[in-house]
Amino acid sequence: MLTKRIIPCLDIKNGRTVKGVNFVDLRDAGDPVELAKQYAEVGADELVFLDIAATLEGRGTTLDMVLRVAEQVNIPFTVGGGISSVEHVDALLQCGADKVSVNSSAVKRPELVNELADKFGSQCVVVAIDAKQIDGHWKVHLAGGSIPTDIDLFEWAKEVEQRGAGEILFTSMDHDGTKAGFANKALAKLSAQLNIPIIASGGAGNVQHFIDTFKEGKSDAALAASVFHFGEIPIPELKKELEAHNIEVRI
């Protein structure tokens, strides 16, 4: 059976991890490569690198980081942040990234999703969607969740699926940073309406939240940052708990 995936997300700036990372046995906690290797060893199924600065000047540094990750890490990884052109994606894939994620750039120019799927295949196109509820309706937000739009989350997700997205990374801005659980109702609705995998993001605080998002949220994968980086939830223990709750995981 296809397993549910556990995905640590690393925020990157100028080729270095930025969010506080508290791994005792790392020589250099700011080195994304070393952190990635560590995660691969403890059983992470995939990794996401989010370039939070994503400036044009910093692009070369990020490419260099991608190359070093691909060289040393033996699990798949996605790169996101500030990606808006076919050429940029080409460069990232050439350096060994398995997938790229696009967000605001796809909202501004939806054809980008078609272009990427046609040229590189749907399997490497992740569309990240940040949304929060406004008057009970899930609305897509841009620029890391700071700019609201009038676009409906479910309509947008359906549209990018039709345009060739291979996967949706849905972050609930209402849940992100709360450590109170994932947006399972919205996730379950996405999963029911779409036929591509859905990654849950935003709200992970404890093991039960992961159990809930796989069972109630019907998520295919769950992404989190701080609970992994600070060792609050060790991945091997998380996976054992998931298995004990009859959730198929790779151990």
Partner 1 sequence: MKKEINKSLNAPPSGAGGLIIIDYGAGNIKSIQFAFKRLGVEAILSKDPEEIKSADKLIFPGVGEASSAMKMLRESGLDTLIPNLKQPVLGICLGMQLMCNTTEEGNTKGLGIFDTDVVRFANDVKVPQMGWNVIKDLKSNLFKGIKENEYMYLVHSYYAKHCKATVATTDYGVNYASALQQDNFYGVQFHPEKSSTAGARILENFLAL
The secondary element (H helix, E strand) that includes residue 119 is: helix 111-120
Tokens linked to 24: 């005792």
The DSSP code sequence of 25-80 is T-S-TT-HHHHHHHHHHHT-S-EEEEESS--STTHHHHHHHHHHHHHH--S-EEEE
Residue 1 within binding range of partner 1, rule CB under 8 A = yes
8 Å CB contact between 179 and 227: yes
For partner 1, give the closer residue by CB, 98 or 159: 98
CB environment 75-106: b (16+ within 10 A), e (fewer): bbbbbbbbbbeeebbebbbebbbbbbbbbbbb
Catalytic residue among 11, 51, 174, 220: 11
For partner 1, give the closer residue by CB, 145 or 164: 164
Minimum CB separation of residue 223 from partner 1 in Å reads 13
Please report, to the nearest 10 degrees, the dihedral formed by the alpha carbons of residues 64, 72, 225, 8 taken in order: 130
Return the residue of 39, 49, 120, 228 that touches partner 1, per CB under 8 A.
Answer: 120
Return the residue of 98, 115, 216, 243 that touches partner 1, per CB under 8 A.
Answer: 98
Please report, to the nearest 10 degrees, the dihedral formed by the alpha carbons of residues 212, 218, 219, 222 taken in order: 10
Residue 30 within binding range of partner 1, rule CB under 8 A = no
The secondary element (H helix, E strand) that includes residue 186 is: helix 184-193
For residue 130, indicate whether it is catalytic: yes
Interface with partner 1 in residues 3-22 (CB under 8 A): 3-5
For residue 173, give the DSSP letter. Answer: T
Backbone angles phi, psi at 218, to 5 degrees: 55, 25
Catalytic residue among 45, 130, 174, 212: 130
For residue 11, indicate whether it is catalytic: yes
Interface with partner 1 in residues 32-91 (CB under 8 A): 40, 45-46, 67, 70-72, 74-76
What is the CA 55 to chain-centroid distance, rounded?
Answer: 20
Return the residue of 93, 153, 190, 233 that touches partner 1, per CB under 8 A.
Answer: 93
Binding segment for partner 1 among 17-25, 54-62, 116-124, 138-146 (CB under 8 A)? 116-124
Interface with partner 1 in residues 147-166 (CB under 8 A): 166
Binding segment for partner 1 among 27-35, 121-129, 137-145, 177-185 (CB under 8 A)? 121-129
Residue 221 within binding range of partner 1, rule CB under 8 A = yes
For partner 1, give the closer residue by CB, 164 or 181: 164
User: Which residues sit at the interface with partner 1, rule CB under 8 A?
Assistant: 1-5, 40, 45-46, 67, 70-72, 74-76, 93-96, 98, 118, 120-124, 166-167, 195-197, 220-221, 250
Catalytic residue numbers? 11, 130
